[in-house]
Amino acid sequence: MTTAQRPTLEAVAARAGVSRATVSRVVNGSTTVAEPIREAVTRAVAELGYVPNLAARSLVTQRTDSVALVMPEAATRVFSDDQVFPGIIRGVSQELEAADKQLVLMLAGSPAGHHRVERYTTGRHVDGVLFASLHGADPLPGTLARLGIPVVVSGRPLGDVPVPYVDVDHVAGVTAAIRHLIDSGRRRIATIAGPQDMVAGIERLSGYRSAVADAGLPELIAVGDFTRESGSAAMRQLLTEHPDLDAVFAASDLMAHAALRTLREAGRRVPEDVAVVGFDDIETAAYTEPPLTTVRQPIVELGRRMTRQLLRLAAGETIEQAVMLPTELIRRASA
Amino acid sequence: MTTAQRPTLEAVAARAGVSRATVSRVVNGSTTVAEPIREAVTRAVAELGYVPNLAARSLVTQRTDSVALVMPEAATRVFSDDQVFPGIIRGVSQELEAADKQLVLMLAGSPAGHHRVERYTTGRHVDGVLFASLHGADPLPGTLARLGIPVVVSGRPLGDVPVPYVDVDHVAGVTAAIRHLIDSGRRRIATIAGPQDMVAGIERLSGYRSAVADAGLPELIAVGDFTRESGSAAMRQLLTEHPDLDAVFAASDLMAHAALRTLREAGRRVPEDVAVVGFDDIETAAYTEPPLTTVRQPIVELGRRMTRQLLRLAAGETIEQAVMLPTELIRRASA
DNA sequence: GGGACGCGAGAGAGCGCTCTCTTGACAGGG
DNA sequence: CCCTGTCAAGAGAGCGCTCTCTCGCGTCCC
């Protein structure tokens, strides 16, 4: 730790022959500085390799120019093979880069980890907090909002807390998928639902229920948790309980992928005997056997929009409570 | 931004009836504080909900208690469906959580983004920098090391810069894979190599070359870039140039996955006609048709070890220049 | 030609914390 | 009994920056 002292504003000021305040003005882009002086300062900054000390700046401005993105650690595991996790990060990162702010990533695993997130975010060490893929009804977003700390979550928060959110239109996506199945003559349409403690799981199931109800078709439901393992189990259960099913809508591509294999093992042909539709459009979907018809969600855009909303909120603007992003049915060979 | 003023050390000191210095001692766990006083301070901290202002602390300690993880943005795309990206983040995050430090994630996409990373890291806004999945010979790690800023990279850096790194033992992994193919009677073993501007691509190819040379077998090589698209193209090229091949070692599971499909389309049975082995052991590998035999690399552990090395370096310890992590051949049905 | 005004630059206070130095109290030895 | 050593707690000086306030100078108008 015995590194050469970094130049300070004072040093730059001395070199440029001006006051510290003037250097500060130039560095922060104030317009009230005469051109020759601005140039002299700019030169001194370059010569000395001056970089502002962010801690000192934060201390006085009360801003940190960084935002936290909080995800349950499970997200990196459950979705490990899915673009949700990297996609959101990418979207968030792009927008923050444009706004020249830093991304502090917090994966909350253990209860201790969650407590750490709570301390860090309520301690105002960041200018805003983004929550992704919440499970259940976490009270933290609501707490932060009440403290006046800008917060945006992905997915309508459970428990009806007044926190702004961005979500994809699950119901419209599912409706399009079911309609496509009906249009191609399917009448015994089952679903492998997602976990019922996550909004995405809940919404996709309720979308399925309304869609089949509207068409006067029966509900054939098995519940999974978005993973492949759960998809296999759910598919087996459906085949046992409803051997005459002719289509399956899985609430995630991972579960759809597993269903494809389970159907093959059971001697059912896809799509001849059973049509399969997934949700997410992960990259693997184009490479399954047969390639998977699925509902694409704009996941990078989700990250971007969340971030844009957060930055507007942090800038003092008032923002919409909810933003809904469209989905799109991608037709491949499985249905 | 008109939120209630947060309590400062001063406020806690006043409430506990001691000096600011004593509160600081208690908060930072100094032992030279009498028990009754320590208790009074602890109570005051709790009552006021005091949380230290990190910016103020950083200003005087010259530490930030945060480390940056730098990845090329392409990593989130190329490997989108692979666990490399989330796996490394998870490993890094786990170790940082244990050390109570924050993770600042920087995805460098554009040249402007790279410049931003350079400014931020050389500006000493973090206590150390981790680089993952470098392409080509980035000069930044070397620059940082020269500035005395702790740096650890994943994968032996190209260009022979004296920067400590952690890597998986690619050569041993490939050797095990090729030996397995030879042991099962394969003699015309081709490879789909990875990009030759990344260490992983280079090492896996050189491992292949030595292994086949040692066995007196010919080299049959096509080069891809780790993605599925490139895997299909390379597989088609190999089939054209060497129609008699009886095995393929792909330098990534994504390319192996594409090769599987291309082989099927070409009428080759796997593993009867052509055995296929991949590298990475992504989750999808167990779900390909047939399930993929592959070389598993401990990717979460890679992130953990990088972080541990970095923390030791930041603590002033001297560390090994290179750490090598073992790989393991996972035998499934494709070979 | 003199006073008011506008604008660019400097002075200086402080953001909240840590840490060295000093002080004060008490115990023990000569 | 005084001096010294020890240890706990306080005083106070900054860390590097921003921002308000002040000052000085040139300009314009009457």
Q: For A84-121, write each residue's pLDDT tens digit.
A: 888 899 999 999 999 999 999 999 878 888 889 999 99
Can you read off the two tokens belonging to residue B31? 């032992």
Whole-number Å distance between alpha carbons of A128 and A149: 6
Residue A78 pLDDT grade (very low, low, confident, very high; cuts 50, 70, 90):
low
Contact A3 B147 (CB under 8 A): yes
**How confident is the model over B94-122, as a mean pLDDT?**
91
Whole-number Å distance between alpha carbons of A77 and A113: 16
CA of A103, closest CA in chain B: separation in Å? 6
As ranges, strand D nucleotides with an atom below 7 A of a protein CB are 7-12, 14-20
**Who's near A185: CB < 8 A, 6+ residues apart?**
none
| Chain B CB within 8 Å of residue A54 CB | yes
| Chain B CB within 8 Å of residue A58 CB | yes
**Chain B (71-90) residues lying within 8 Å, Cβ to Cβ, of chain A:** 73, 76-77, 79-83, 85-87, 89-90
Residue A4 pLDDT grade (very low, low, confident, very high; cuts 50, 70, 90):
low
**Chain A (186-225) residues lying within 8 Å, Cβ to Cβ, of chain B:** none
Phi/psi at B244 (5° precision): -95, 10
**How confident is the model over B166-195, as a mean pLDDT?**
97
**How confident is the model over B135-147, as a mean pLDDT?**
87
More confident position, A133 or B288: B288
User: How many angstroms separate the Cα of B50 from the Cα of each of B6, B19, B53, B235, B288?
Assistant: 7, 15, 9, 62, 54
Residue A247 pLDDT grade (very low, low, confident, very high; cuts 50, 70, 90):
very high
Chain B residues in contact with A261 (beta carbon < 8 A) = 287, 289
**Helix pair B54-61, A54-61: axis angle to 10 deg:** 140
More confident position, B279 or B83: B279
Least confident of A69-78, B169-178, B270-279: A69-78
DSSP H helices, B79-218, are 84-98, 111-122, 140-146, 170-183, 199-214
CA of B183, closest CA in chain A: separation in Å? 30
| Chain B CB within 8 Å of residue A51 CB | yes
Does A163 have pLDDT greater than 90? yes
Residue A59: CB less than 7 A from any atom in strand C: yes
Which of A284, A300, A332 best tests the B interface by mutation, with the highest count of B CBs <10 A? A284
Residue B30: CB less than 7 A from any atom in strand C: no
Least confident of A113-117, A322-326, B274-278: A113-117
Contact A86 B93 (CB under 8 A): no
Can you read off the two tokens belonging to residue B313? 């370096």
Length of chain A: 335
**Helix pair A84-98, B84-98: axis angle to 10 deg:** 70
Q: Which of A240, A110, A287 is nearest to B227 (CA)?
A: A287
Can you read off the two tokens belonging to residue B176? 């095990």
